[in-house]
Amino acid sequence: MTRVAVNGVTGQMGGAVIEAAIDSEVVVGFATSDTDAVDGVPVVHPAEAAAALREYDVDVVVDFAVPEGALTVAEACVEVGVPMVVGTTGFDEDGMGRLKDASEEVPLLKATNFSQGIQVLQRLISEAVETLKDYDLELMETHHNRKVDAPSGTASSILDVIQEERDVEPVYGREGHAPREDDEIGVFARRAGDIRGEHELVLAGNDEVLSLSHRAEDRGVFAAGALDAAAWLVGRDAGWYEFGDVVDA
Ligand SMILES: NC(=O)C1=CN([C@@H]2O[C@H](COP(=O)(O)OP(=O)(O)OC[C@H]3O[C@@H](n4cnc5c(N)ncnc54)[C@H](OP(=O)(O)O)[C@@H]3O)[C@@H](O)[C@H]2O)C=CC1
Ligand SMILES: O=C(O)C1=N[C@H](C(=O)O)C[C@H](O)C1
């Protein structure tokens, strides 16, 4: 069985990964709060991650935490030579650069969304935006009220996909006198209740509206995808990998 360490083990996704681990074993977790164990999994401070990766003979790290915590653990992975799956979102340019540096030393797979449906959605969006060249585009995402980063990592990835096809300028919300420019895309983030994650792209023009959307119904979908990615990553060469590589395998 693949021996997994979970970064952010005390969080919502940390719990979902422990629950989803059937073909793999979560042997240790990292978190900053003063917790000894989660569901029988020992919890270690991220500052001690390198020692724990050795002590628990970890094959791969699965990370759902905060950017600074992910970067601390990525450095430990480099030190010990352990592959890492990064699910945390909200990295700035410097953080992304540090992850890229880590991927030169160990296999590192980063995805803003570990659901297979989002992979397909991104491909459909690419085709729709390429075909419906002059349709207006508006992007919406909705998440639970505890989410701290906005727009979601997935929405940012969808925007990247769109920008590969069309030169659009994101406008994050609108207020007051805000006439729409032809080359803009409105991006909207809603936060409410325990909504797991909804993303929708609307393409409108020529007296018709096309809506492409995805809704995650349980955090288990992300946990299962990340564990699939982890099993796939073990034994690979150092480098930067994406979830599409796993889905297409
Ligand atoms: N890629 C994907 O498919 C998905 C990505 N996500 C992303 O995963 C991340 C976590 O989401 P979620 O579980 O809902 O968030 P939570 O707030 O529930 O959990 C965050 C976890 O990070 C821990 N943490 C805080 N600081 C550090 C640190 N310095 N080092 C290590 N761990 C730390 C917290 O524990 P403590 O305070 O004890 O340290 C907590 O366990 C977010 O960025 C979210 O966007 C979420 C779902 C799917
Ligand atoms: O924080 C979440 O919950 C989620 N975060 C990811 C994101 O920012 O896109 C993925 C998913 O939508 C759930």
Give the pLDDT confidence score for residue 155 in this predicted structure: 98
- For the segment 218-231, the average pLDDT, to the nearest whole number, is 98
Q: Which atom of ligand 2 is nearest to the CA of 197?
A: 12
**Per-residue pLDDT tens for 169-208?**
999 999 999 999 999 999 999 999 999 999 999 999 999 9
**Per-residue pLDDT tens for 103-162?**
999 999 999 999 999 999 999 999 999 999 999 999 999 999 999 999 999 999 999 999
Give the pLDDT confidence score for residue 41 in this predicted structure: 98
143 is catalytic: yes
- Is 153 annotated as contributing to ligand binding? yes
- Is 13 annotated as contributing to ligand binding? yes
100 is catalytic: no
Give the pLDDT confidence score for residue 134 in this predicted structure: 95
pTM above 0.90, yes or no: yes
Q: What is the mean pLDDT of the chain?
A: 98
Q: Which of 143, 177, 199, 214 is catalytic?
A: 143
Nearest-ligand number for the alpha carbon of 68 = 1
Residue 194: phi, psi to the nearest 5?
Answer: -115, 30
Q: Which of 100, 110, 147, 177 is catalytic?
A: 147
DSSP string, the chain: -EEEEEETTTSHHHHHHHHH-SSEEEEEEE-SSS-SEETTEEEE-GGGHHHHHHHTT-SEEEE-S-HHHHHHHHHHHHHHT--EEE------HHHHHHHHHHHTTSEEEE-S---HHHHHHHHHHHHHHHHSTT-EEEEEEEE-TT--SSS-HHHHHHHHHHHHHS--EEEES--SS-PPPTTEEEEEEEE-TT---EEEEEEEETTEEEEEEEE---THHHHHHHHHHHHHHTTPPSEEE-HHHHHH-
- Considering the four listed CATH numbers 3.10.129.10, 1.20.200.10, 3.30.360.10, 3.40.30.10, the one that applies to the domain covering 116-215 is 3.30.360.10
Nearest-ligand number for the alpha carbon of 143 = 2
Nearest-angstrom CA–CA distance, 216 and 109 = 21
Residue 241: phi, psi to the nearest 5?
Answer: -125, 160
Residue located nearest, by CA, to atom 30 of ligand 1: 69
Domains in the chain: boundaries: 2-114+219-248, 116-215
**Per-residue pLDDT tens for 20-35?**
999 999 999 999 999 9
Give the pLDDT confidence score for residue 194 in this predicted structure: 97
- For the segment 74-103, the average pLDDT, to the nearest whole number, is 98
Give the pLDDT confidence score for residue 14 in this predicted structure: 98
pLDDT band at 52 (very low <50, low <70, confident <90, very high): very high
Tell me the two tokens of residue 84: 């890492």
Tell me the two tokens of residue 5: 């360490």
Residue located nearest, by CA, to atom 1 of ligand 2: 147
In CATH, what is the architecture of 2-114+219-248?
Answer: 3-Layer(aba) Sandwich (3.40)
Substitution candidate for ligand 1 out of 7, 9, 77, 89 with most atoms within 8 A of CB: 89
- For the segment 210-216, the average pLDDT, to the nearest whole number, is 98
pLDDT band at 229 (very low <50, low <70, confident <90, very high): very high
pLDDT band at 39 (very low <50, low <70, confident <90, very high): very high
Residue located nearest, by CA, to atom 34 of ligand 1: 8
Residue located nearest, by CA, to atom 11 of ligand 2: 197
Nearest-angstrom CA–CA distance, 146 and 123 = 29
